[in-house]
Amino acid sequence: MAVADTIMKFHPTIRLHGRWHRTNSAIITSHNVFSDVASRLCVAALPKACSRHNCPAQPHAITDALKSNKGRGDLSVILLLAHPSHAAAAGCAVARAFPRYALKRERAAAANVDVYMGCDDTEALRQIGLIAEGIQTCAELVDTPCNILNVPEYVRRVQELVSGLPNVTIRVISGEDLEKEGLRGIYGVGKAAVGPPAMVVLSYTLPGGAVGKPVVWVGKGIVYDTGGLSIKSKDGMPGMKTDMGGSAAVLCAFVAAVKRGGLNRPLSAILCMAENSVSAAATRPDDIHVMYSGKTVEINNTDAEGRLVLADGVAWAAKQLQPAVIVDMATLTGAQGVATGHRHAAMYCNNEKLEAAAQARRQCGDLTFPVPYAPEFFAAEFASAVADMKNSVACRSNAQVSCAAQFIGNHLEPFFEAGGAWLHIDMAAPSHQGPRATGYGVALLCQLLDELPAAGL
């Protein structure tokens, strides 16, 4: 009997509702609160202190309170918001507390989660619901191990998720076609795996044709990262199924953004998928790849693979789609957690207004903080005697998050010359909390999209 037949797969459904009760400044979670006899009641108050780099709605505290509730059966959550503007962050925080993926035989804690928001705006509730659904789907993909979610299966799930979306096209470039297209960064990382690498391009076009320059999101989709021939240690490798978290966020944000409706410009999502594996076909240290940008890269560390797939993704986006804005999202460096912590993703951005818009979006609960943007200080780290650059830095204590990002930026020169705005988001640490994915990035990308016109982008 197949493993999948013997277990009970658990899908908690988050349902958002309007006003139920009127009071303020606390969240109350209760089991069976609407049945005649309430079997359990759990009350949680949010912390009083909330610093200026945190989200005012304190979604982390909502998620933590709900995760600590160990009851079984359906669950009702009543969110008593201190301010109506907290609705999106609070609703998303509930979604983060209920990861879907498990292959456990035992029944999970809750079947359905009803959330009462104290909000009369049904359209706002619908939009929050779509983002919450995206957060859960994203976390489900990230939590799924690579023996189930390899690249071909990931491509299939993408096709399933976008099928039926209006005005959306999908293009899949996979295996040796990547090499023919010049996408040798992605091909070089993924060619050793049994499942061939792929770049998936999702594009939304306006029904009446293009209006304005597109926004393009690019996500790192390493379905497993062994490190390649520069192999990780036995303690460093577990958890590397999550190295596709950036692409999962980009995918689920794209689906939510299209389902929300009201898009007034073209939007594309590019998912750079590969399994960084080991075989006789694996890329070796010392190999040189000619990237999509035309630049050459001497590989000195096969475990610095995310930047290779992203460099191809952003360069392809810039040339083929002529966007005004490129945002890439990736679990790129362990250094990110050291630099900006487990809650804030690190941002590296060539455009002050775009950076400010992204940081302001902490209101959605996906926190960010900038790292220095100064390419002239970082170029020397990648100096190579035989190629345009190496793929890994000489000095690991020199602004490592910025340097890793700048490697990607090195492949965007024509885009920068044309005035393009680029934001790189390294979300290696906030993409998970303990052993569970958080769905980080879905809310941030959706809300940042709404901010771009005000930022002049």
The residues binding Zn ion (CB under 5 A) are 225, 303, 305
- Alpha-carbon distance of 225 to 333, in angstroms, equals 12
- The single-letter code of the amino acid at 171 is R
Cα–Cα distances (Å) from 409 to 289, 296, 307, 325, 359, in that order, read 17, 14, 10, 13, 20
Please say whether the beta carbons of 354 and 453 come within 8 A.
Answer: no
Q: Is 307 a catalytic residue?
A: yes
Judged by beta carbon, residue 32 or residue 301, the one nearer Zn ion is 301
Residues 6 or more apart in contact with residue 233 via CB below 8 angstroms: none
Find the angle CA(70)-CA(75)-CA(77) to the nearest 5 degrees: 105
Alpha-helical segments (H) within 271-398: 306-321, 335-340, 352-360, 375-378
β-strand pairing of 389-390 with 421-426: unpaired
Of 40, 157, 232, 436, the active-site residue reads 232
Task: Give the nearest distance from C-beta 346 to Zn ion in angstroms.
Answer: 17
Judged by beta carbon, residue 140 or residue 225, the one nearer Zn ion is 225
Judged by beta carbon, residue 59 or residue 227, the one nearer Zn ion is 227
- Alpha-carbon distance of 347 to 360, in angstroms, equals 12
- CA 154 to chain centroid: 15
Of 307, 343, 362, 390, the active-site residue reads 307
Task: Give the nearest distance from C-beta 382 to Zn ion in angstroms.
Answer: 16
- Look at residue 363 and give its three-state secondary structure: helix
- Beta strands across the sheet bearing 296-298: 288-290, 296-298, 389-390
Task: Give the nearest distance from C-beta 302 to Zn ion in angstroms.
Answer: 8
- Alpha-carbon distance of 437 to 432, in angstroms, equals 4
Task: Give the nearest distance from C-beta 305 to Zn ion in angstroms.
Answer: 5
Task: Give the nearest distance from C-beta 139 to Zn ion in angstroms.
Answer: 21
Question: Which residue's beta carbon is nearest to the bound Zn ion?
Answer: 303
Residues tagged active-site: 232, 307
